[in-house]
Amino acid sequence: MAYDQRCRKGARDLFQRCRKGRRRNIFRRIRPAGRMGIVRRLAGKALLKIGIHGKEGINVHITPNRSLLSWEGPSPANKREGKGGMPLGQGRLGISAKMMKALQSFGSVMESGQNGRPILHTKDKRKIGVGSMRMIKRLGMRNRKRYTALLVTMTLVFSVFALYLPQAAVADSATKFITALPTIAIGQRISGGYQDTWTLNNIFLQYRERWGTSFNARLDIRFNSWQSFTEATREKLLGIQVDLTGYQSDANESWYVQFYDYDTGNWYNFWYFLGSFPTSPSGSLTISVNDAALARRFVGPSGEFQLRFADAGTAVGTYETTRTRVYFDLIRAVFIYDITPPVSSVTAPADMEYTNAANYTVRGVASDPAPDPSGVRQVEVSTDGGNTWYVADPAAPGDYTSWSYQWSIPSEGMYNIRSRATDRVDNREVPGAGVTVVVDWTPPQLSSVFPAPGSLNLPVDTPITATFSDANGMLPSSIGPSTFTLVDEEGTSIPGTVTYDPVTMTATFDPDVDLFYGYIYTATLTTGITDLAGNPLSASYSWSFRTADILSLTLAGTYNRDGTPGGGGVSFGNISPESSPFVIGGGTPPYAVRLNVLSSAGWNLFLRADSDLTDASQDPPAVIPISSLQWRASGSGTWTPFSLSDNPVFNPPPNRTPQPGGRYVDLDLMLQLDWENPPGNYSTTVVCILMVQP
């Protein structure tokens, strides 16, 4: 097959092989120049790149400057975790600026979902499926334009969803329109009239300036009849916005508005500059009064409102020689008010917190949320469930984003702390449930301990416990290995686990391993142990107890003279007086008899034989004196003949054995024969006795 045909065939089969899970690196079989061509064909678009790696778990990232497309996840070549990337632009992946803009409208991350279906992450964290691997293959292999069409279509579809996203809340507002034609102080109405009060295009009025003294053109009209502002009292007003839409005949004319002051009963002594309408077509002009105190003066007690519209000559005395016409398409007033109370909460103390403080800084936060944030003016705090209120301090002057209150606690007990905020138009918050704090100044007490002080003969697996008494309970984190300790009589710390049961208020020290026999142990509770409020024990407390003694002897093993294990007995085998003496132990085998001794006090071993060496099968029985059998501590040089009475092994007696394993005692045996001893099969029983020694 020709080289170009192979390249095309590899392109056609690439996606199908990826879908079937054959993740071999197909590009290795194509010459480098051919690989680049395949990359340009197959990865000409970002979605095609996703298709190549279309297995679940792949994340594809596009850098903001369109310089790199990278992937993370199972490698296509060997299925192992990895990462990689390819440059964008300049003929590599060839993503156009238009296409990249469409991609970035979704977000910056694409991933592949189940069955290799690509998923785009949108900027608001939504996910949109792009289509199947088959679709991406078809779009990428056959028609480059279809990618752009697909992406643009998806962008438009997503835009439809975006229209339904919630908008940011704005202040409460009431829109009012005129209910009658204005009165004309100076000027002339040419045409138009008042229409429906609630339509956006509720008037069409045309006015013209009139000549005054010395041919000075003037216009002064007054809109005195408006829908009343009844949504709130005027004390809740934050501002007033007046919107006018229209056009004018003279481009050089400027307009002003004036508000009626209901506090003084006259027009306010300031003209607000409005600007100029366009000559054609209509344009809009807006003037805002953002001073809440001033805006309230411009509304009457029953919600009345009046507005004066005039030219520059009337407002500021400008001399005009041109009679300008003004056309109104819309006149409306928007009253911005605040009837939503602010909110506050206590952040310290936490609910059901315990404290032993005499003075406490109560802390919290407050805000005046949308839609009408006039701002928090004051926060008050109650420490008695809302019966009495005290003013809190802001973090900065006028800033109640965070606040505090210095509380001097009068006595122990349970307190309910609440907060309430008031905004700048006197909306006051209804306080919530608040938080509960428990004040406790009394130290905890130790009720009992186990084992009792001075106890004897305790099992070595005995747990050590301490029970406390406190009105509110102990702080579990204060009771642990650092505050509940155990040491033996040699001063060695005993490792263990400390647990606490809040129901019974009992702490338990459980040693990691059994205690030693016959040891005195001392347990200690430190003043690091506190109750829930942080009150420590009045003083540390220690007590001691002793475990039971032990005296244990075990036959650990025996060897025969031929080096085989004896299984509890020792055999010299077939021997002849000419080879006497015969020794078992001292090297090979390592010993004749091994004993294990465990003693919590001084001790010693005693050895004796029950009888002489006897062959009871003969008649009369044949006997060899027991003194012919001798023993020694393994490795020592002194042999001791056995006798029918007890003989000590050690002089002086050893102290207590190590624990927990005890001590091994190894013995060697030697047998001496002479030709006078009759042949036979001789045996005896050796008795080992372990005794406590002072």
Compute mean pLDDT per 10 residues along the chain, 694 residues long, and list them.
Answer: 43 42 37 38 38 40 44 42 42 42 42 42 39 36 34 28 30 86 92 62 79 85 94 93 94 96 96 95 93 95 96 90 91 93 96 96 93 88 96 95 96 97 94 96 97 96 96 96 96 96 97 96 98 96 96 95 93 92 90 95 95 93 94 87 94 93 94 92 95 90
- Which of these, 228, 256, 239, 244, lies nearest to 290 by C-alpha position? 239
Q: Are 140 and 12 contacting, i.e. CB atoms less than 8 angstroms apart? A: no
Structure tokens at 691: 């005794």
Q: Are 522 and 544 in contact (CB under 8 A)?
A: yes
Q: How many angstroms separate the CA atoms of 533 and 356, rounded? A: 5
Task: Please tell me whether residue 14 adopts helix, strand or coil conformation.
Answer: helix
Report the top-level CATH class of 172-337.
Answer: mainly beta
The Cα–Cα gap between 457 and 498 comes to 23
285-310 per-residue burial string, b: 16 or more CB within 10 A, e: under 16 = bebebeebebbbbbbeeebbbbbbbb
| 691 vs 694: CA distance, rounded Å | 10
- One-letter amino acid for residue 59 of the chain: N
Beta bridge partners of 422: 378, 428
- Number of Cβ within 10 Å of residue 149's Cβ equals 11
Alpha-carbon gap, residue 311 to 208, rounded angstroms:
11
Residues 6 or more apart whose CB falls under 8 angstroms from that of 288 comprise 239, 240, 241, 242
Name the CATH topology of 552-692.
Immunoglobulin-like (2.60.40)
First to last CA, the chain: 103
Asked, colleague to colleague, whether 172-337 and 343-431 share their fold, the answer is no
| Listed residue (482, 461, 577) closest to 527, CA to CA | 482
Assess whether the previous peptide bond of 410 is cis (omega < 30° from 0): no
Residue 387: strand pairing partners: none
pLDDT of residue 103: 44
Q: What is the pLDDT of residue 606?
A: 95
| Residue 290: partners with Cβ closer than 8 Å, 6 or more residues away | 238, 239
User: Sign of dihedral through CA atoms 626, 628, 633, 639?
Assistant: positive
Which residues, including other chains, have CB under 8 Å from residue 618's CB and lie 6 or more apart? 678, 680
pLDDT of residue 195: 63
The pairing of strands 307-311 and 613-615 is unpaired
Residue type, 172: D
Tokens of 619: 């008649």
What pLDDT is attached to residue 486?
Answer: 97
Characterize 70-98 residue by residue with b for buried, 16 or more Cβ atoms within 10 angstroms of its Cβ, and e for exposed.
Answer: ebbbbbbeeeeeeeeeeebbeebbebeee
CA distance 58 to 75: 9
pLDDT given for residue 202 in this prediction: 57
Question: The tokens of 24 are what?
Answer: 């071999």
**CA–CA separation, 21 and 14 (whole Å):** 11
Q: What residue ranges do the domains of the chain occupy?
A: 3-162, 172-337, 343-431, 445-547, 552-692
Q: What is the CATH number of domain 445-547?
A: 2.60.40.3780
- The DSSP 8-state label assigned to residue 301 in this structure reads T
Here the tokens at position 641 are: 């003949």
Per-residue pLDDT at 587: 83
Full DSSP string of 612-654:
-EEETTSSSPEEE-GGGEEEEETT-S--EE--SS-EES-SSPP
For residues 434 and 395, is the Cβ–Cβ distance under 8 A? no
Residues 6+ apart with CB under 8 A from 607: 631, 642, 646, 647, 649, 667, 686, 687, 688, 689
In contact, 516 and 460? CB cutoff 8 Å: yes
Consecutive H or E run containing 448? strand 445-450
* C-beta pairs of 537-540 under 8 Å, 24+ apart in sequence: 537/443, 537/444, 537/446, 538/443, 538/445
In CATH, the architecture of 343-431 is Sandwich (2.60)
Residue 323 burial (CB count, 10 A): 18
What's residue 272's pLDDT?
A: 97
Distance CA 418, CA 313 (A): 59
Check the CA dihedral 271-273-274-277 and report its sign. Answer: positive
Separation between Cα atoms, residue 669 and residue 13, nearest integer Å: 87
